[in-house]
Amino acid sequence: MPKVIFLPHEELCPEGLSVDVEKGETILDVALRNRIIIEHACEKSCACTTCHVIVREGFDSLEESDELEDDMLDKAWGLEPDSRLGCQAAVADKDLVVEIPKYTLNMVSESH
């Protein structure tokens, strides 16, 4: 059973967290189930960047992102080569080490 290890984040999980997960769960669903409240303004529909995460280890085990996710990621704050949208990145058979960026861009709330 793979694990997702969330690195410490000052506000969302100061101690960090390591949890066993089922293959196929998204990083966002794993976080939310474990009370790490990553913002997800579009309700997991791949229409924003608020659930942007950086996969520090295990990135190559994830399915490749599709064109829609890549287009959204291009708008993410702090984009890195190992960035993914948490709502789209499903855990495969390897452990993941995930960093939650310090900032997100919520284009819905910030455009008003």
Q: What's the fold here for domain 3-106?
A: Ubiquitin-like (UB roll) (3.10.20)
What is the model's pLDDT at position 109?
44
Alpha helical stretches, state H, 1-112? 27-33, 67-73, 107-110
DSSP 71: H
What is the model's pLDDT at position 36?
96
The β-bridge partners of 83 are 54
Q: What is the mean pLDDT of each run of 10 residues along the chain (112 residues)?
A: 96 96 97 96 94 97 97 93 98 97 62 39
The β-bridge partners of 90 are 26
Question: What ranges do the domains of the chain cover?
Answer: 3-106
